């Protein structure tokens, strides 16, 4: 998974749950061919999402560092 992610130009995060043997690859950006590359791997599933909103639980002044 790491090798696959490093082959594309976007930042990523690779998460692992050892007790279940599960990996999650989260990629921050769209690269043509990424979903196709993953769908060709046995035992993998892929989803893509469009970011609707990004925020913080901190009050606006704290988030700015004021």
Q: Where are the domains of the chain?
A: 2-46
Average pLDDT over residues 45-60: 79
Per-residue confidence (pLDDT) for residue 19, from 0 to 100: 94
Three-class secondary structure of residue 64 per DSSP? helix
Per-residue confidence (pLDDT) for residue 62, from 0 to 100: 59
Per-residue confidence (pLDDT) for residue 66, from 0 to 100: 56
Per-residue confidence (pLDDT) for residue 27, from 0 to 100: 87
11-42 pLDDT, tens digit per residue, is 999 999 999 988 888 888 877 788 888 877 88
Question: Of how many residues is the chain composed?
Answer: 66
Indicate the pTM of the whole model: 0.63
């Amino acid at each position: 998974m790491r090798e696959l992610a490093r082959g594309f130009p976007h930042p990523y995060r690779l998460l692992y749950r050892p007790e279940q043997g599960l990996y999650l690859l989260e990629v921050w950006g769209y690269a043509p061919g990424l979903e196709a590359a993953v769908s060709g791997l046995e035992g993998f599933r892929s989803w893509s999402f469009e970011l609707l909103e990004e925020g913080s639980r901190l009050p606006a002044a704290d988030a700015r560092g004021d």
